[in-house]
Chain A
Amino acid sequence: MSEALFSAPPLAQVEIQERTGESCIANNGFCPDWIVDNFDRYVGPFFEHIYLTVVSVGIGFAIAFALALAAHRVRWTFGPISGVTQVLYTVPSLAAFFLLQPITGRGNLTAIVALVAYTLFIFFANISAGLQNVPGDVKDAGQGMGLTDRQLLWKVELPLALPEILAGLRIATTTTIGLATLAFFAGGDGLGRVLAEQPFFKSNVVIAGGLTVLLAAAFDLLILGVQRLAMPWRRAAIA
């Protein structure tokens, strides 16, 4: 059955097959030699994947941040904004990648638009929760001392909302890295494309998938590190 699936292997694979003998690849095993020889193939998509993730998360954060501030200032807008972002969040990702194509065409743009739409709800919900969780007495004291609304927001409310905001960033980043593997359906780049080229070749799946997981873990650790650095008072409280 596996032989039938590999009836038309790409050129690179043929070359390796010749050098390492057919046993590993023919058996669809996990072939370290093949991986070493073909690692170049993953470098480009790996960085494309990072690009997709960073751009989508960045734009998503910027939009959701503005929306959350608007909802914070004008309370009644919270419901509608929350509703719309939630609906976007529930659209099946695959469907979104196809549905957008008539409008944005095939390519990274479509992928990014869909990925951004996904992050909106996560960011909006978390930033809003963070702002809402700022203790009332702290805000009262800030106002009572003469901080303007803007000063209160930037000097008190947002710093105190940071734990929730960064938690949202972690979820959104991890989710986006995962969803970005589907970007190829919209004609986008990334590790998903390599994955899709040989979806049943174990070595390929392990490396492309593994890199995705690695990327997610790396971003998660990075944000965790930022969280530590940005919130010394939290460490102080535990100590």
Chain B
Amino acid sequence: MNSALDHGQARNQAAADLEFREVTKRYPGQQDAAIERLSLTVNAGEICVLVGPSGCGKTTAMRLVNRMIEPTDGDILIDGASVKGRTRADLRRHIGYAIQQIGLFPHLTVGDNIATVPSLLGWDKQRIASRVEELLELVSLDPQDTRDRYPAQLSGGQRQRVGVARALAADPPLLLMDEPFGAIDPINRERLQNEFLRLQGQIRKTIVFVTHDIDEAIKVGDRIAVLKKGGKLAQYATPAELLTFPADKFVEDFVGADRALKRLALQRVRDIDLWKAPEVRVGEASSDVRRKLADADLQIPLLVDDRRRPLGWLSERALAGERVERDLRSTAEPVVELDDILRDALADLLSHATQYAPVTDEKGAVAGILSLEVIGRFLHEPPTDSPTGADLLDDDPRSRADLGE
């Protein structure tokens, strides 16, 4: 990876802990509170998603953090220090801020937009220029090509990236993002979400992320705070916990009837307990195979080659003789891989109208059997760890390269 980025990482400030402590926001003349006694803690380096229906106060909650809105009661602490202890301007200059409409300054070039907070903080020209370049590369924009353009000359996706770069400009330990991908079309949104997660893999900031889209919340969140009308916290949990144990009817409805499928989307095949495959080679003694099958989860022998790659499911006749013969009842289709997303693997099973499929590792060797029963059992177990969309992206070769691993 390029040296500018390494340089940036070396300089990265630590992420901050964030705590909402009994925060209430009540607008004069309104009966219901906008936020009611909200308490939650976001660990340094985590993405906390505030999600809920419109009017639930999620944006209000976010804007309380940088005092765009002042709380009526309670306090918000960043690394243990109250936000009230600093002037608004000073506080905000140390918190990244990205909003749905992006709000780029139309009269300033991309470079000057990104330089906003560093200039306010009094960085010298040289440092600002190199930081701008570094950030544009970080968000996958070509500095030479982009730096001197005006926002009106950029596409929606490019503007969004510039918005993120601008929020990161002074390397804040905490980032606020209000529906940052809300105005992007679905295809590009997916891409930007993935890029965002890769970026977070590099910068590891504490991020408060507001969205109304539960799928986005599940994808990007380390923890999700579901808010309901009146700014009441309905549940604060990891995506997997939220999907497995919704705290109440409201959360259950909000995460949707397909929450089981959503949970599958969070998991890879390797994350669940697979059946042991009854592996069989041509020429093996039939009696041995019968003994193997007696202990196996699946009563159908799987024929493999010398390197344990699946060839197909054996028929009864294959075991008729003393030695196993190559007599297949069907090919091994579909074959799923350990790294497949569980939901995709399930879709594979269903589309092939089969109950089970061999699972292979990176080398193509059999690692187990995935079956509908296995998936069903998994869905009834409590979540053991809390994988997130970000974890699922960790195996992406690009992100590894970016991390310089």
Residue A137 CB within 8 A of the other chain:
yes
CB 8 Å contact bits of A113-156 with B (1 = contact, 0 = none):
00000000000000000000001011111111111100100001
Residue A239 CB within 8 A of the other chain:
yes
Interface size class for chain A?
A: 20 to 34
A138-B106, A156-B105, A237-B152 are contacts. A144–B99 as well, Cβ < 8 Å?
yes
- Of residues 78 through 136 on chain B, the ones whose CB sits less than 8 Å from some CB of chain A are 88-94, 97, 99-108, 116-117, 120
* A interface SS class: helix
A141-B103, A233-B106 are contacts. A146–B152 as well, Cβ < 8 Å?
no
A137-B102, A140-B103, A160-B106 are contacts. A145–B150 as well, Cβ < 8 Å?
no
Contact B152 A233 (CB under 8 A): yes
Residue B149 CB within 8 A of the other chain:
yes
* Chain B residues, Cβ within 8 Å of A137: 99-103
Q: Bound complex: CA of A160 vs CA of B108, how far in Å?
A: 10
Q: Bound complex: CA of A159 vs CA of B166, how far in Å?
A: 20
- Of residues 62 through 87 on chain A, the ones whose CB sits less than 8 Å from some CB of chain B are none
Contact B92 A138 (CB under 8 A): no
The A-B contact count (CB < 8 A) is: 80
The one of A139, A145, A162, A236 in contact with B92, judged by C-beta atoms closer than 8 angstroms, is: A145
- Of residues 146 through 183 on chain B, the ones whose CB sits less than 8 Å from some CB of chain A are 149-153, 166, 176
* Chain A residues, Cβ within 8 Å of B105: 138, 141-142, 156, 160
* Chain B residues, Cβ within 8 Å of A232: 150
Q: Bound complex: CA of A121 vs CA of B103, how far in Å?
A: 31
* Chain B residues, Cβ within 8 Å of A151: 120
Contact A145 B99 (CB under 8 A): no
Q: Bound complex: CA of A135 vs CA of B116, how far in Å?
A: 18
CB-CB nearest in chain A for B91:
A146
Residue B68 CB within 8 A of the other chain:
yes
The interface centre, meaning the residue of A138, A140, A144, A160 with most chain B CB atoms within 10 A of its CB, is A144
CB-CB nearest in chain A for B167:
A145
- Residue numbers of A with Cβ under 8 A of B are 135, 137-148, 151, 156, 159-160, 162, 231-233, 236-237, 239
Question: Besides A145-B116, A146-B88, 19 other CB < 8 A contacts?
Answer: A135-B101, A135-B103, A137-B100, A140-B101, A141-B99, A141-B102, A141-B103, A143-B92, A144-B99, A144-B103, A147-B120, A151-B120, A156-B105, A156-B107, A160-B107, A162-B107, A231-B107, A233-B106, A239-B153
User: What are the 10 A-B residue pairs with the smallest beta carbon separation, nearest first?
Assistant: A141-B103, A137-B101, A146-B92, A146-B93, A237-B152, A144-B97, A137-B103, A236-B150, A233-B150, A146-B89
